[in-house]
Structure 1
Amino acid sequence: MKAFALYASAALTIFMAAAPAHADPESCRKVKFSDLSWTDLSLTNATASVILTALGYEPEQTILGLPVTFESLKNKDIDVFLGNWLPVQEQEFKSYVNNGDVDVITTNLTGAKFTLAVPTYVAKAGVTSYDDLSKFSDKFNSTIYGIEAGSNQPLLDMISAGRHGLKDWNVVESSEAAMLTQVDKMTKGKEWIVFLAWAPHPMNLNFDLTYLSGGDKEYGPNFGGATVRTLTRKGYRQECPNVTKFLENLHFDIDYENVGMNEIMTNSVEPIDAARKLIKQHPDMLTAWLDGVKTFDGKDGYAAAKAAVLTN
């Protein structure tokens, strides 16, 4: 009897050693993302979803507004938000971070921009800063092309205050699509135009543009420089360490997002298909994203994703 017990114990030990341990508990299999219908966020959510699916998880996206996203994180109705843009979201939502209602996992994008730009042929002619614009008022028809009303307030305040010598200038408020149509039309004729521009966005691929310096008062330093952070609901790091390790590794760059957004916006490719295409084009990024990450059942994460994404 004693010998049998020893045999059974040894067999159980061997079985337990051979059986893969789950990387995360069952409660972590479903990973819930917030989707704000922003093209950049659709791309990054899709990228995460393609990889998590290959790892054996079940990602899902829910369309929410920005304030509802923060409340949903606080209430643990969603798990992950990949679109915490700073500084634009900082003041309104900083209490969620300061009060510990959400966890900051990482900064997933640096080098984003939001400020005025001109076609590069205009920059080469002498317009490289906000202060240069007034020297060429006639060429610009004293006009700045903005986007929808409510999004151009820094420009309206700038003109009202007479900063950069632009006291009598006008801002055309329409929409992103209308502004880009105007840029396309005028650049084809080598006309002079100054407009709101940002990165990541396909405009950086479709137009040869130059961002203007000197707009720190209007949009902040570093050409309206911005970063994007990954947030999770409070305690998610402890509950789901393997998914969190993946999220910590999941860093993007401007080129990746410019190209991916162009696939979605210009070429009408579905976000999930655009993400698959880009991952195949950037196998080095997949390697970095899955460093130290397992599948849901505890196996090698990179091997599983490589088989599912890179070779299919």
Structure 2
Amino acid sequence: MRRIHRTLFAVLFAAAAALAAAGCAGGGGGSASGGELTLGTIGWTENVAVSNLTKVLLEEELGYEKVELQTLDLGPLFKGVATGDLDAFQDVWLPNNRNYLNEVEEDVELLKPWYKGETKYGIAALDYMNIDSLTELERAGTNEIVGIEPGASFHPQIRNVVFKEYGLENFKLVESSTAAMLAAVEEASSNKEPILFLAWSPHWMNEVYDIVYLKDPKDAQGKFNDSSRITTVVNEDLSDEEPVAYAFLKAVSLNEEQLNSLELEIKRAGQDEPVKGVKNWLEKNRDVVRPWVQAAKEARQ
């Protein structure tokens, strides 16, 4: 079971709502939801976008007092959802994250994919470098591949398989963060300098930079080279204890254009202002989220 205080809060909240409804002529029924939620995040750009969008809508449209976003590495994220310390994590890439999911699958529920586009993932360069394959890395002009957060599923594949298959003993993977990787790409692009980095789509970087996803004739990138599904994992008790949030998370659906435009609004608002970016995006995209909010309202008890 998840943390006891959350269950107690839900019971007390429902009782209070019922009393309030009984004392008001023509009042509607109460809800077992509406307290606090904690969403796990990894800091990846699509995760920042969808989790902050979820936060804004749950708080402003569905009456939640507070939706906290807690940033962790992948392993702790999956474990946190399993134990109930986190209610959900909305950036599960499958099959990439299958090993993490396998460790906790008895204590979580995997929802259907919320991203409706086709993903890309892999080692990339910028077009002015004039390379298009991993076989050409020796003439890339750099022997570093800029990665993202430590714990990213693809990192061991690069170190243990890609480097070996392509004879890249003098290459190294530099772990950093998504923000640091993007800053490195921006600097390299501005100065037309060589850079190798971990890229993926959906992401606004594909709209801003001329990215070349490098061919992999030896299939050393394995499953990471395949199109993935992006979905949400929730604690096994969420549907019973927070039916409104659960229904909302199940209803979330974004295509490539919608997600890229949301990410760009957040980027324009500034790195520390994701909520502002979400609200700017919502001014023109209320029709996109209306079905999600309606599904959540219908789940009220």
Q: TM-score, normalised by structure 1?
A: 0.69
Aligned to 2:39: 34
Aligned to 1:232: 234
Pair 1:268 & 2:276 matched: no
Q: 1:1-312 to 2 correspondence within 5 Å?
A: 18-22=26-30, 24-25=31-32, 28-36=33-41, 38=43, 39-53=45-59, 54-63=61-70, 65=72, 66-97=74-105, 99=106, 101-109=107-115, 111-122=118-129, 127-131=131-135, 133=136, 137-138=138-139, 140-141=140-141, 143-147=143-147, 152-158=155-161, 160-163=163-166, 166-167=167-168, 170-171=171-172, 173=174, 175=176, 180-188=182-190, 190=192, 193-214=195-216, 217-221=219-223, 223-264=225-266, 267-294=270-297
The structure whose Rg is larger is: 1
Aligned to 1:309: none
Counterpart-to-counterpart distance in 2, 1:149 and 1:247: 25
**Is 2:148–2:181's contact at 8 Å kept on the other side of the alignment?**
no
Q: Which amino acid aligns with 1:292?
A: A
Aligned to 1:307: none
Counterpart-to-counterpart distance in 2, 1:220 and 1:20: 54
Counterpart-to-counterpart distance in 2, 1:291 and 1:216: 48
CA RMSD between the two structures: 3.7
**Is 1:33–1:45's contact at 8 Å kept on the other side of the alignment?**
no
Counterpart-to-counterpart distance in 2, 1:169 and 1:88: 26
Q: Which amino acid aligns with 1:173?
A: V
Residues 243-270 of structure 1 deviation map (CA, whole Å, 9 limit, x = unaligned): 3222111123444444444454563351
Bigger Cα displacement from structure 2, 72-81 vs 50-59: 72-81
Counterpart-to-counterpart distance in 2, 1:222 and 1:74: 25
Q: Which amino acid aligns with 2:201?
A: A
Aligned to 2:9: none
Aligned partner of residue 200 in structure 2, secondary structure: strand
**Is 1:108–1:252's contact at 8 Å kept on the other side of the alignment?**
yes
Residues 173-230 of structure 1 deviation map (CA, whole Å, 9 limit, x = unaligned): 3645665455445444556554322234442233121222337834335745333221
Q: Which amino acid aligns with 2:113?
A: T
CA deviation after TM superposition for structure 1 residue 115, in Å:
0.6
Q: TM-score, normalised by structure 2?
A: 0.71
Counterpart-to-counterpart distance in 2, 1:297 and 1:168: 58
